[in-house]
Chains A and B, each alone.
Chain A
Amino acid sequence: MKIEVGFRIPSWEMPSVERSRMRTMAAILRDPNPVHWDPNLVDSLPFEVGKKTINQGPLGLSYMVNMLHDWAGPGCVKRIFMTFPHIVLSEDRVIAKGQVTQIDGTDIECDIWLERDEKKLLVGNATVSGERVV
């Protein structure tokens, strides 16, 4: 398969963002923020999302890393930049997507993002070693 500018990276889906994974993540990260594990507290805040928990930013980012790994191989990510315009919630079905924007030798630049119902929740870009795909 020839990779060209505009190529759509095969998407990666997280069928349901699990609360239990947020709790494990909070423990590993030593993250004291209860929005990741206390749905009653989230319900009391002005997010208006009900009794949900809010996914950690790095976890949302990791879904795009998984997409890049599945496409270009583990260890392919050389740089990743991510912004977080919207929150990802427990039970969300989210899909990581990406598109090639530039190719420089074996380095591939791509726009990457995370969608829920076609709304972009996380938006960024990455540089990937394309030795396995170029």
Chain B
Amino acid sequence: METPTKETLKEIIGHQFPGGEYIIAHWENFLLTECTGSELLPNGLAHPVALFHVPILGAGTSIGEMFELGHANSPFSIGIESYEWEIHQPLLEEVTYKISGKIEGAERKTEAGRVFDRIQFRFDLALEGSPVASSTIIWHYNRGRSDED
């Protein structure tokens, strides 16, 4: 995929994902929790690791689309800067979360001779009108070495 200009990159700031709903099924939480090496949590609690994919899929997007929106050169060109999850209420299985998501920031940066686009996504989960959790994802879309080297 072609590297966007700095101006094109800025155009994605404010992009809203369609939004939608997501139910963490018991089977999904079971498999997900097993992947972490933990026992299933008690009382229908979902493992917090769900806060990576549930907001993405529930907002009506996908990891693949997030790569495309940032014009990733390939899946291998993506690096993680940080993930931040704020949890106001523990996640539960089998309830319907309302989810929204958007792109909060996109800028080209050069650090230590490396050029990358820093893109920040933000997702919010709510249950019956009350905030449940938020997820902030910051990825680096690597663009190669700087000509300034």
Contact = CB atoms under 8 A, between A and B. Distances in A.
Contacts, number: 106
Interface residues of B, number: 37
Interface in B62-112: 62-64, 67, 75-76, 78-88, 90
Contacts of A69: 38, 41
B31 A30 contact: no
Given A28-B53, A79-B86, A83-B82, A74 B42 contact: yes
A79 B36 contact: no
Interface stretch (A59-67, A100-108, A109-117): A59-67
A32 B63 contact: yes
B63 A59 contact: no
B90 A45 contact: no
A24 to B, nearest CB: 5
B48 interface: yes
Contact of B47 (A65, A78, A81, A82): A65
A24 B31 contact: yes
A113 to B, nearest CB: 14
Given A32-B63, A35-B76, A25 B82 contact: no
A35 B75 contact: yes
Interface string B46-65: 01110011001100001110
Contact of A25 (B32, B42, B56): B32
A78 B63 contact: no
Contacts of A80: 48, 83-85, 87
Interface of A: 14, 21-22, 24-25, 28-35, 45, 57-59, 61-63, 65-66, 69, 74-75, 77-84, 124
For the complex of A and B, list the 7 residue pairs with the smallest distance between their C-beta atoms, beginning with the closest: A62-B36, A58-B52, A75-B90, A33-B75, A62-B49, A21-B35, A29-B53
